């Protein structure tokens, strides 16, 4: 019986990693590529939509900061996210 509980716990953790951590890592890599293509010395405003909008906006914000810039993500009334990135 104890092994059955342990197996359930491991399966739940695996699903958590697959559906939460995996997409977050992919979003951060995509955002990093996107931000690296932006010209420096300017203010960029990015609107992020979709089911993972908050997560993707956060990834863009982190990438702006990783490039030595400033970035803030703000939720808009229509549930999109606006990210202002300056670097």
CATH of the domain at 21: 3.30.110
pLDDT for residue 33 is more than 60: yes
Backbone torsion region of residue 43, taken as left when φ is above 0, otherwise alpha when ψ lies between -120 and 50, otherwise beta: beta
Count of domains for the chain: 1
Using CA atoms, how far apart are residues 50 and 31, in angstroms rounded to an integer? 14
pLDDT-derived band of residue 5, with 50, 70 and 90 as boundaries?
A: low
User: Could you give the 3-state DSSP secondary structure of residue 6?
Assistant: helix
Give the residue-averaged pLDDT of 21-50: 66
Which structural domain range is residue 21 located in? 2-86
pLDDT for residue 11 is more than 50: no
Contact of 48 with 59, CB cutoff 8 Å: no
What is the reported pTM? 0.53
Indicate if the alpha-carbon torsion angle 60, 61, 63, 68 is positive or negative. Answer: positive
């Amino acid at each position: 019986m104890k092994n059955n509980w342990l197996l359930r716990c491991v399966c739940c953790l695996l699903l958590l990693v697959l559906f939460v951590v995996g997409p977050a890592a992919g979003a951060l890599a995509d955002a990093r590529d996107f931000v690296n293509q932006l010209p420096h010395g300017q203010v960029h405003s990015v609107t992020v939509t979709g089911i993972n909008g908050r997560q993707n906006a956060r990834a863009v914000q982190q990438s702006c900061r990783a490039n030595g810039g400033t970035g803030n993500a703000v939720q808009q009334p229509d549930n999109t996210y606006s990210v202002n990135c300056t670097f």
